Amino acid sequence: GGKSKYMVPPAATSTVRHGMMTVVSSLDNIGDDVPTILNEFGAKLENTKSPGIPVHELYIAGPTSESDLGDIAQLEKTIAGQEREMKMLGISRATVLNPIAKKDPSYFTFPHYKGYNEDPLRRNMRPTFHHLLEINRLTENFDLERLHAVGKEVQVYLGKEKGGKPMRGGPPQVVSVRGISSTPGITTYEGAER
């Protein structure tokens, strides 16, 4: 056996993150459900030490439906309307899942840094993808517009460079393609050709 090159902090000083997933009877009108859900989550966190920053995650799933939610203005208003309570609980993000029959679910993410309003760059993106694809690094330097991409594992963005002085023709633009692959052999030349 060997030693890990990564330092593992002692459990006493580690940040403990908690998550809660709940299923509601309908996503059409969850206004009455959200305060109850937050009370339940708060009860589970009652005897835990608060790290002082938002680290916990809340997932709300609806029943399987035949279609996407369409306009989510009411859903966003409901989630953002609980900002005070969610901050007190240390919730980093709330994610709403809309399971669609015979299709991938729709995802709507409401992060704390946006006041629990939906982040359109994360729409229909699995909750961990944002971090794995390092979207935050792109948003540091570019104003991003998400473009349509074929496949659920790939994201395509048009980025306009932030800051700087006004330029003739507008700010420089880049196209960024980010993706995740679990294909065996992708790191070999032959695997990359597939």
Instruction: Kindly indicate the confidence band of residue 186, based on its pLDDT and cuts at 50, 70 and 90.
Output: low
Radius of gyration of the chain, Cα coordinates, nearest whole angstrom:
20
**pLDDT digits 0-9 by tens, 43-78:** 998 877 777 888 999 999 999 888 777 778 989 999
What pLDDT digit, counting tens, does each position of 151-174 carry? Answer: 777 888 888 888 767 777 777 888
pLDDT of residue 162: 86
Share of the chain above pLDDT 70, in %: 88
Contact 126, 108 (CB under 8 A): no
The HSE-up count of residue 194 (CA atoms within 13 Å, CB side) is 10
**What pLDDT was estimated at residue 1?**
46
pLDDT of amino acid 136: 82
Stretch among 25-34, 48-57, 97-106 having the lowest mean pLDDT: 48-57
Q: Are 114 and 147 in contact (CB under 8 A)?
A: no
